[in-house]
């Protein structure tokens, strides 16, 4: 039965509506690190006694081991209540000079930093898979497409490198966003700083941040770092979706270019002959979900006045979901690629279909006879319209009509025609920078492996900085550990 709510009464539904506890589980570890850093800074500044600091640190240790946190509107309130339950009212001194506003902003950045490090490592693994496959298929001739129609022959390595280069750009966007994520808002308090003489640079150092979000109002109210990450995730998922679409098309009976491993496909519930590319289809769909999260976050942030507004609480669940979707998609597609089987004979056979060598035939006419390209284009276009493989006599007849001379009389031979119509020969000629010729593809692959090594080194440096800061922070205040000297 409906019960009328009394004036001033807070119902369970309202409490649940306000609560962020479910989403806050993602930032529990980050919150405890933030508490430790702030507390140690307060102790060093003489704002909290050492004995009390050690008691609070012990309480935080107990919470870290999985002690139930009880009730609370959010994880921050729950941690504070758990500390006070163990230390007494004095435990509340851990929040001296700090607001929940700068605390939550710090926690999101710490947790997001960790997620980005993981995603960048997974992107590198994905790129390594593409490069390994490309190295195996420098000589594998395949059809190239424009408008989903046969266009020109290329190689499987060249095609895979296109996806690898897109993934490198995705990684670059994540790296660039990481620099703006890894900035400390801690110490901004509610938005107008605090009258306590705190040391923001010290907490920045303790938490392994690379710098400060200096303006205290900007520090608590900005979420553009989340929007930037969501934009980078959306672009990455669009690129992954393009790969997924090709896996779906190429595995169909109409194309027949590859077969997915059973682990990444399923059988129809009613049609036993079918092998459905389920994982690739979900990858394609989840790109839409990530884009939707970006649009939702942009819409939430678009008209918020300075400084903090509760609306921002709704942004972070979109971030965590999008990270989960993107990270799992990168891992799944890497596994799918590493286990699939290419039908190389079918690919090479298909590479000559649709008169895909027409461009090289026109180019050959230009190189050998000296005619303008547009004239050669018209001659080859007329030959293509007649269907079938053109003969030299046919080329002569069309050329006489369009150019006023027979191409054979201008030095174009049967051997030239054969070479121009050969897909493998077409590919070999395209040795310009970025082209599909095997030696040029080999150069690109080697350069990208070198880039991988450099990226892994940078990622390792960032990982060591973050992990080192956390380890040093966790050891601070323990017996036998030398205190900071400042």
- Tokens coding 152: 């020109």
Strands annotated E in 333-401: 341-342
- 25 vs 277: which has the higher pLDDT: 277
pLDDT at residue 436 above 50? yes
Residues pairing with 277 in the sheet: none
Give the C-alpha separation, 104 to 17, whole Å.
18
Residues pairing with 258 in the sheet: 342
Residue among 55, 51, 63 at smallest CA distance from 88: 55
- Tokens coding 338: 């590493």
Assess contact for 297 and 226: CB atoms under 8 A: yes
Confidence of residue 71 (pLDDT cuts 50, 70, 90): low
Range 284-303 average pLDDT: 97
Give the C-alpha separation, 47 to 49, whole Å.
7
Buried b / exposed e along 362-386 (16+ C-beta atoms within 10 A)? bbbbeebbebeeebbbbbbebbeee
Q: What is the DSSP string of 9-27?
A: PPPHHHHHHH--HHHHGGG
- Tokens coding 28: 């529990």
Burial class (CB in 10 A: 0-12, 13-18, 19+), 409: exposed
Give the C-alpha separation, 290 to 276, whole Å.
23
Dihedral of alpha carbons 31, 32, 33, 39, sign: positive
Assess contact for 332 and 247: CB atoms under 8 A: no
- 478 vs 338: which has the higher pLDDT: 338
- Tokens coding 244: 């997924």
Give the C-alpha separation, 370 to 378, whole Å.
15
Residue among 121, 127, 154 at smallest CA distance from 450: 127
pLDDT at residue 18 above 90? no
Q: Please identify every residue annotated as catalytic.
A: 147, 268
Q: How many C-beta neighbours within 10 Å does residue 343 have?
A: 16
Cis peptide before 307 (omega within 30 of 0): yes
Confidence (pLDDT) at 68: 63
Q: If you average pLDDT over each of 13-27, 90-104, 345-359, which comes out highest?
A: 90-104
Instruction: Find the range with the poorest average confidence among 103-107, 182-186, 207-211, 395-399.
Output: 395-399
Strand, coil or helix: what is 465?
Answer: helix
pLDDT at residue 478 above 60? no
Confidence (pLDDT) at 9: 57
Confidence (pLDDT) at 352: 86
Confidence of residue 366 (pLDDT cuts 50, 70, 90): very high
- Tokens coding 481: 């550990």
pLDDT at residue 341 above 80? yes
Chain mean pLDDT for the chain? 91
Range 19-44 average pLDDT: 86
Give the C-alpha separation, 203 to 253, whole Å.
60
- Tokens coding 382: 């007329």
User: How many residues does the structure list for the chain?
Assistant: 486
Half-sphere CA count of 101, side-chain side, radius 13 A = 24
Give the C-alpha separation, 379 to 362, whole Å.
8
Q: What are phi and psi of 321, to 5 degrees?
A: -65, -45
Confidence (pLDDT) at 477: 59
Strand, coil or helix: what is 143?
Answer: strand
Strand, coil or helix: what is 141?
Answer: strand
Assess contact for 369 and 363: CB atoms under 8 A: no
- pTM value surpassing 0.85: yes
Residue among 426, 226, 190 at smallest CA distance from 321: 226
Confidence (pLDDT) at 272: 63
Angle ∠(329,333,334) on CA atoms, nearest 5: 115
| Cβ within 8 Å of residue 436, ≥6 positions away | 153, 154, 155, 157, 158, 427, 430
Give the C-alpha separation, 340 to 258, whole Å.
7
Assess contact for 129 and 119: CB atoms under 8 A: no
Buried b / exposed e along 309-337 (16+ C-beta atoms within 10 A)? eeebbebbbbbbbbbebbbebbebbbbbb
């Amino acid at each position: 039965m409906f019960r009328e709510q009394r004036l001033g009464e807070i119902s369970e539904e309202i409490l649940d509506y306000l609560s962020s506890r479910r989403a806050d589980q993602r930032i529990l570890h980050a919150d405890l690190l933030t508490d430790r850093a702030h507390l140690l800074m307060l102790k060093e500044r003489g704002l909290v006694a050492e004995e009390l600091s050690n008691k609070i640190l012990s309480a935080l240790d107990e919470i870290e081991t999985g002690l139930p946190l009880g009730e609370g509107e959010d994880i921050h309130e729950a941690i504070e209540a758990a500390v006070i339950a163990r230390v007494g009212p004095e435990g509340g001194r851990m929040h001296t000079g700090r607001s929940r506003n700068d605390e939550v902003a710090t926690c999101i950045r710490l947790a997001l930093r960790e997620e980005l490090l993981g995603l960048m490592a997974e992107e590198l693994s994905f790129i390594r898979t593409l490069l390994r496959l490309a190295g195996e298929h420098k000589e594998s001739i395949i059809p190239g497409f424009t408008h989903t129609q046969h266009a020109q022959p290329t190689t499987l390595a060249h095609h895979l490198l296109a996806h690898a280069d897109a993934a490198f750009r995705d990684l670059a966007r994540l790296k660039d966003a990481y620099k703006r994520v890894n900035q400390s808002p801690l110490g901004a308090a509610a938005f107008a700083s605090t009258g306590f003489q705190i040391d923001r640079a010290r907490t920045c150092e303790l938490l392994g941040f690379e710098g400060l979000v200096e303006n205290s109002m900007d520090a608590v109210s900005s979420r553009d770092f989340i929007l930037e990450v969501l934009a980078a995730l959306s672009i990455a998922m669009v690129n992954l979706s393009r790969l997924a679409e090709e896996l779906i098309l190429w595995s169909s009976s109409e194309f027949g270019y590859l077969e997915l491993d059973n682990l990444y496909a399923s059988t129809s519930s009613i049609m036993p002959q079918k092998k459905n590319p389920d994982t690739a289809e979900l990858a394609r769909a989840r790109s839409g979900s990530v884009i939707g999260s970006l649009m939702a976050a942009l819409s939430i942030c678009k008209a918020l006045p300075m400084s903090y507004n509760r609306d921002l609480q709704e942004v972070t669940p979109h971030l965590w979901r999008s990270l989960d979707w993107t990270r799992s998609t990168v891992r799944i597609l890497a596994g799918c690629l590493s286990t699939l089987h290419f039908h190389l004979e079918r690919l090479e056979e298909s590479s000559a279909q649709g008169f895909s060598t027409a461009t090289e035939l026109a180019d050959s006419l230009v190189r050998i006879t000296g005619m303008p390209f547009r004239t050669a284009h018209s001659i080859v276009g007329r030959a293509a319209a007649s269907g079938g493989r053109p003969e030299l006599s046919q080329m002569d007849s069309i050329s006489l009509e369009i150019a006023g001379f027979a191409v054979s009389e201008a030095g174009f031979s049967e051997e030239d025609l054969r070479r121009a119509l050969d897909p493998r020969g077409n590919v070999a000629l395209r040795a310009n920078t970025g082209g599909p010729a095997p030696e040029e593809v080999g150069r690109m692959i080697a350069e990208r492996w070198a880039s991988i090594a450099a990226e892994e080194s940078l990622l390792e440096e960032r990982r060591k900085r973050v992990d080192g800061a956390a380890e040093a922070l966790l050891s601070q205040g323990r017996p036998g550990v030398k205190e900071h000297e400042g």
